[in-house]
């Protein structure tokens, strides 16, 4: 995917607005950025074609769906061989409670953000699922007491 030659101020406004409300109409978006609806639609399509804009989603309130506990879990691998890393990453992809995964530098190999209903739910996942993976040598869990900031919006 080739990025557009230049992202101008209107494109930046479009990106900023769409990160806040992905369901906004093209007419309303055009009005907010000061462009015609047709021009705005073309810009959005160009940003999609360039891979800058990806799929639209609706965000859920984790508390209201009984997934209010966030656990940050450091993972140490038994092996750093490509097949071991691939097996672990395939496992991560298959688990809906793992919502983020980062390959890390430093003492730990991965950092996971896991959402669960409570500590007992996490204990079952940790003991019977995560630590049962042949690729995992160890884990350290950290429970978030509260969330002071959460955003999916990137600065543009």
Residue 134 is part of a domain; what is its CATH number? 3.30.70.920
The neighbouring-strand residues paired with 18 are none
* Averaged pLDDT, 32-49: 95
Structural domain that includes position 22: 9-49
Residue 151 falls inside a structural domain = no
Strands 136-143 and 98-103 turn out to be: unpaired
Same domain, 21 and 78: no
Residues 139, 67 share a domain: yes
Residue 1 clears pLDDT 50, i.e. is over it: no
How far apart (Å, rounded) are the C-alpha atoms in residues 13 and 140? 41
Residue 99 and residue 39 in one domain: no
Residue 154 Cα to chain centre, angstroms: 12
The sign one gets for the Cα dihedral 117, 121, 127, 129 is negative
Average pLDDT taken over every residue of the chain:
94
Residue 112 lies in a domain: yes
Percent of the chain past pLDDT 90, that is, above it, reads 94
Give the mean pLDDT of 73-91.
98
DSSP one-letter code for 56: -
Q: Decide if 67 is inside a domain.
A: yes
Q: How confident is the model at residue 3 (pLDDT cuts 50, 70, 90)?
A: very low
Q: Provide the domain count of the chain.
A: 2
Instruction: Say what the pTM is.
Output: 0.87
């Amino acid at each position: 995917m080739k990025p557009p030659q230049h992202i101008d101020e209107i494109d930046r406004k479009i990106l900023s607005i769409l990160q806040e409300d992905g369901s906004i109409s093209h007419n309303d978006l055009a009005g907010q950025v000061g462009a015609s609806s047709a021009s705005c639609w073309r810009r959005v399509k160009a940003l999609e074609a360039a891979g800058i804009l990806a799929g639209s989603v609706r965000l859920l309130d984790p508390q209201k769906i009984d997934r209010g506990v966030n656990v940050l879990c450091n993972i140490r691998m038994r092996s750093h061989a490509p097949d071991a890393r691939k097996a672990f990453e395939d496992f991560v992809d298959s688990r809906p409670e793992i919502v983020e995964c980062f390959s890390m530098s430093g003492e730990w190999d991965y950092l996971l953000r896991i959402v669960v209903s409570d500590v007992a739910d996490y204990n079952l996942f940790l003991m019977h699922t995560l630590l049962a993976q042949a690729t995992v040598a160890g884990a350290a869990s950290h429970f978030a007491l509260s969330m002071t900031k959460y955003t999916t919006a990137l600065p543009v």
